[in-house]
Chains A and B, each alone.
Chain A
């Protein structure tokens, strides 16, 4: 009898324990979505390092993808699939405020009940301090994106004593933050959505935090980071989803990122199930393999990007418009598409605005049967006859031309294509391939007298200005500087005037503004300071255990949305 009671009691305990354990295991972690696919560790692989973990300093796209699940701004871009031209949406702000004072004032209402991963509540003071911190840490976009906040210009000159007095006003009573601008800005919400305007605690260090990430408001927090080996993120225990579109709750319990994996090794590792995702585009020689064997695990991701050759308009031979136009006529853009992986993943580009960006209108000035005055709708074929005629008129045949390219194989292939084209036109051409991180600043400095600089450009946010104004306005050309993104050194006041008008009109009439951006694009290509080459889709391979929709414009992929089987 005693034994029987003991057995019954023991059995009951075992059943209770099993039931409890099951119930405990199925209960989602705090802040996690209610889904059977919650949990697990997402394993990411990448070749390069991520650099600083300071969201207001980092300007690497790979770091951007990590940091966007750790930090939030007042606004953000949707983290769900959709159009490339989608505008910013509210994130830590309750809504997008209507402009006041003719577009000079914006009053944001901060959401209540938000916490950093340290447990501290997010307050309007944190927002104001974060805006000041952009200047104090010398954020790369402090000047171009945020200096039009009242007091911003003073902060640029004296970052240590930046107050943004009269520019950013926190109000703890009404839980609002009010911004005052020096001039209307149709892209203000977009700029606040960019990572550099992330909201950090007011007591965050006013210097680049480097490897020691500050607390954020996103679903994950960085628990360890070694720039040479890897990174680990775990759930932010204080995160509660407020808007699935702005900052969705994360499926994986943890995310690890291993550095030093070259793309070939990454593809193999993902095929073998050792990793779930790779940071780099799939190598060209593996496209056929992954397209045939793992088609269901391949994701093609559209994003706003452009590859182009910047022609130095201030030194021979490209200081002659005819030579620049000849190069544009001669380049075989079909070859560039082939070098990028074929028509499934690339299209030829004829202008500096990528397809899908605001202000884009089909126009191809330099193709067979077209001219800047009578552009075609799309690129057809090179016009070598016209190109040779222009070179003959310019009398530059036989001159030496140097192309400076990043040393990655894809770029080198494109550089060799450019070399062949210029050699066909009668130039003596050399190609110098330099590590990309060095090349990008090297080609910007006019002291290096680079004649042709091959590069690519991704938009910080979907706006025509982030291509045309950023890359080819007089203001972005700084002679003798490594930080002169107008690589061509192109400056045309009449073109600048069109772009200024486009930016101004866009504040009140986006459609009319877009038409003006299209006009600016045509005006730029008439001067041919660049040779637009092609636009690509990103090819990424997932492991067999990943499912769910992970794509989102601007971010390309959102790590918190990876569901692991």
Chain B
């Protein structure tokens, strides 16, 4: 019996124990909500990447040029983009509404006579690019700040933590608006380099900066916990240099926090970008973002609500998907949660 048992039991070297990332991947894959959210995100991103193809080959329109005096063909008929309102005083003209025909102003036109569908896709490229880039930059800065403060402690911790406290004390949108107004009006000059006011780097860095305290604080807390962990103490007692402990023991163990934070910060950055662009201090015309398109639609809310609804809906879908995905990642990467599920 014993022999049989010994023969049937796998040897320790042949046991295939999945790594934590693989376990997290499996856990995430099993989470239907997170997978649906990921699919929605990929779909939106893919559609936005096709913007030049849609504008150039399908809709055959320039989404950045005013075209109020123009016309287009619909079912063999020439249709004016701006159409007179039906009233006895002949007051006002309204942009053409949704035709639901992909090649002819599918979602209608905005007040500049531009194709809303094409602008929605181009706007999505900018919104997603800015929000994802801002989240990555924010994570990078927050990691530097949080790890330094948590690992070194003492004066470094005090100085960085107070700086974060000061930034945290200022409402995030007020902070972002203030920075945007300054940089949008003059551009940004850093030494020999000049960033023009319409450069996307400006909203990316502003949004990244204002969210640093929100990411740095949990990272610092995680590092402080790790600093006193047994394996770190052991490494210290063995005389492992600090930079090696930092890179080999601390940072890899913080990475799960960073992964969980990324989609959540992207969602926050997307909302911030939309708000700044809606206030004309984010993406600058003629470039589009979902925020600028909502602003374009504000004046058409009674007659052509689709101009504001379409980008609003896109923002809701993406933010919701990012939050669900973030929750899924947190569940998947949470060791205790995973252990409980495994048990």
Contact = CB atoms under 8 A, between A and B. Distances in A.
Given A335-B66, A416-B112, A417-B112, A288 B92 contact: yes
Interface in A112-134: none
Interface in A402-459: 407, 409, 413, 416-417, 419-420, 423-424, 430-433
B310 interface: no
Contact of B91 (A345, A413, A416): A345
A284 B89 CA distance: 14
Nearest to B62: A420
Most buried by B among A290, A295, A344, A345: A344
B185 A289 contact: no
B86 interface: yes
B87 A292 contact: yes
A303 B28 CA distance: 67
Interface of B: 65-66, 68-69, 82, 84-94, 111-112, 185, 196-198, 280, 284-286, 298-304
Most buried by B among A290, A344, A420: A420
B66 A291 contact: no
Contacts of A335: 66, 68-69
B85 A291 contact: yes
Contacts of A285: 92, 94, 299-304
Contact of A292 (B86, B111, B197, B280): B86
B88 A416 contact: no
A40 interface: no
B299 A284 contact: yes
Nearest to B85: A288
A269 B157 CA distance: 57
A300 B91 CA distance: 10
B198 A291 contact: no
A334 B66 CA distance: 12
B286 A416 contact: yes
Interface of A: 283-292, 295, 298, 300, 332, 334-335, 338-339, 341-345, 407, 409, 413, 416-417, 419-420, 423-424, 430-433, 539
A423 B196 CA distance: 17
B89 A344 contact: yes
Contacts of A416: 66, 112, 285-286
A562 B78 CA distance: 46
Q: Which 6 A-B pairs have the closest CB atoms?
A: A287-B92, A288-B85, A291-B87, A291-B91, A292-B87, A420-B66
B64 to A, nearest CB: 8
10 contacts: A285-B92, A285-B304, A287-B92, A291-B90, A291-B92, A295-B88, A335-B69, A341-B92, A342-B85, A430-B198
Contacts of B93: 338, 341-342
B302 A295 contact: no
Contacts of B87: 287-288, 291-292, 295
Contacts of A345: 91-92
Contact of A287 (B91, B196, B298): B91
A284 B66 contact: no
Nearest to A381: B69
A423 B65 CA distance: 9
Contact of A284 (B69, B84, B88, B92): B92
Contact of B69 (A288, A298, A300, A332): A332
Contacts of B86: 288, 292
Contacts of A288: 85-87, 91-92, 94, 303
A431 B196 CA distance: 13
Contacts of A342: 84-85, 90-93
B285 A419 contact: yes
A430 B284 contact: yes
A289 to B, nearest CB: 7
Nearest to A432: B185
A332 B82 CA distance: 14
Contacts of A339: 68, 111
A424 B64 CA distance: 11
B91 A539 contact: yes
Contacts of B82: 338
A354 to B, nearest CB: 21
Most buried by A among B84, B86, B111: B111
A180 to B, nearest CB: 50
Contacts of B284: 430-431
